[in-house]
Structure formats: C-alpha cells, structure tokens
Amino acid sequence: MSDLVLVTGGTGFVGIHCIVALLRQGYQVRTTVRSLDRSHEVCDMLVRAGLGDSRIEFSTADLTSDAGWPEAVAGCRYVLHVASPFFFGKDEKEMDLTTPAREGTLRVLRAARDAGVERVVLTSSFAAIGYGHPDRSTPFMEEDWTNVEGDDVSPYIRSKAIAERAAWDFVAREGGNLQLASVNPVGIFGPALGPKLSTSVQILQRMLRGEFPGVPRIAFGAVDVRDVADLELLAMTRPEANGQRLLAISGNAVPFIEYANILRKHLGERGAKLPKRELPDWMIRLFALIKPEAKDLIPQLGKRRQTTSAKAQQLLGWHPRSIEEALNSSADSLFDLGLV
C-alpha cells in the first residue's frame, strides 16, 4: 500500500496543488479542514484538476487548537504543513498573525513526532529570509534569516520568520527522530482551481478588474504553484533534503509593472484594464493615509531583493516554469472561473 501523507489546509491555493501532485504520484492523501462542511471545496477543485474520482480522507483540525491533530497525523509517513493564517488587507493585531502561525506549527510538529511521522515539510516563505536587512546587491540565500526587528518587516513577514524559527528550534531540541525540511517560495502564482486564491493571485485579479490606476515602484519574485508543490514532494522524499531550507523562485525578481506588461502581451483585449504605469512614491505614501493596507508597501519602494533557487535545482533537480507561464496561467484560470 502506498504511503499516507497529511496535507494541512487542503482548501488553500498551495494545499490543493500539493494534494493534486500527491494523488498523481499514487500517494494516499488525508487533508485537514476546519469543518467537514468544507470538504466539498476540496472535491470540487479535484474535479477541476481532472481527479474527481480520487479517494481522499478528511480530518477536522484547526491551528488554534490541539483538538484533532493526533487523529489527523495518525498512520501518516509524511506531513506537508501548508496551512497558515494570512489576513491580507486587514488592520489586525500582530499577535493575531504570529501566535497562530507559531503555535499552530508547533502543534503540527508535536503531533507528528508523537505519531512517529518520518518527515514534515514546512511551507514557509521568502518572508522568513530576505527582510529587515540593509540594501544589498548579493542574492539572499537559504542561510539568511529575516531580522524581525527591521523597519520593513510587516506583521505577516514577522509571523513567517518566527514560525519557521520555532519549527527548527523544536526539531533540534525535542523533535526526536522527526525530520524537517522547509520550502520558502516568493510570490506564488499559477492556475487557480477554485475561488480561494493566493494573495499574489488576488493582486493580479484586482489588476485585471481595473482597480489599480498604476502600480508601486517595487519588485518581487514569482513562482508557479505547481512548481511549489513539486518541490514540496521532493523535499518530502529525498534523503538529501532533510534539514534543508529550499528557496523557490523562477528567474529573478522583476518590477511590478513588468508583471502587468507580461499579462497584457498574453491577454490582448482581455487585459485592457491592466495598469500601464508606475505610480510615484509620494502618491503611494499619500494613498497609505487612506488605505492602511498600503502602509506595508512604503518600506519596499525602490527595493529589488534578489534570490535564487540554485540550491533546490542542484540538490534535488527541481526545474521551475517561467515567470510568464506562472502569471499567464493565473490570469487564464481567473477568466475560466469567472473571477474577473
């Protein structure tokens, strides 16, 4: 019988693609949902992925409670811990992000250790690597850590760094035989299978709807969600991935306006509402007085943090899709789903 894998947060953008990749490789899959009433969301997305006849188990568990986690990990060889709180565009207290992220990660790790799980793959983020530092010309690498006291560190970024630190500290101190690897993606794009989108794809959605008169003068990296899922599976099974952090990016970080240009070239008339210009920095600062969510953009203006996926490619033979394919497949899926 094939190995059983738990995917936390199966209704999420990354979680469902991990489930699809696992099912296609013949694994048994169990996933956590906060309520069994949401299991149909996973099933509907599997139908869209062409896997509607797949068997999948559901387990009720929430990052904010110990209840359900022993049952969720029981009998599993591997765990892909994908679920994470993310309150985009809301004026949340910092602890509303940090506490669930850190304590939820530790709950999963404790339950996995106690159940004899072989390896956990933590879906972290470039947010745990490349922030809170002075400007630099060299790429950020896996050995770098975000300085959580930095001026450009938002509550979300801080929560990702603290949660990943806690995971590595836990495994080192009291993990027993439990193995750990982390995958640290940049902005995640790629095809949506349902209405629940990554924050990066939500931004594209708003651009396509014409909600942005222009874009800020910032740059960031992109990676396709299907490639993130593939890297998660490599990190799960390959012996050399144990104990490793693995950055996931396709190419280099590019200016935000270039994202709009790539989409416009692909979409033609469908991309008529995409922004065509960069907004001056002063306008972003003024806008932040009206829209609190724009405040996090101000420390990023004019910055281009570069990183590389050379480690994942050389160590595990991982080869990501192009930025163009990641962005264009995002846009196509949004139109197909009627979300634009």
- Residue 134's contacts (CB-CB under 8 Å, 6 or more residues apart) are none
- 4-336: what fold? Rossmann fold (3.40.50)
* Distance set, CA 178 to CA 109, 114, 164, 315 (Å): 8, 9, 16, 21
pTM higher than 0.75, yes or no? yes
At residue 156, the pLDDT reads 87
Break the chain into its structural domains and give their ranges.
4-336
Q: Are the C-beta atoms of 239 and 316 separated by less than 8 Å? A: no
At residue 90, the pLDDT reads 42
* Catalytic residue check, 160: yes
Of 188, 167, 189, 191, nearest to 178 (Cα)?
167
> What is the largest distance, in Å, between two alpha-carbon atoms of the chain?
60
Catalytic site residue from 160, 273, 295, 303: 160
At residue 251, the pLDDT reads 87
273 secondary structure, DSSP code: T
At residue 88, the pLDDT reads 41
At residue 326, the pLDDT reads 97
Count the residues in the chain. Answer: 340
Of 9, 35, 11, 251, nearest to 123 (Cα)?
9
pLDDT less than 50: residues of the chain: 1, 86-93
HSE-CB at 327 with a 13 A cutoff on CA atoms is 27
At residue 96, the pLDDT reads 62
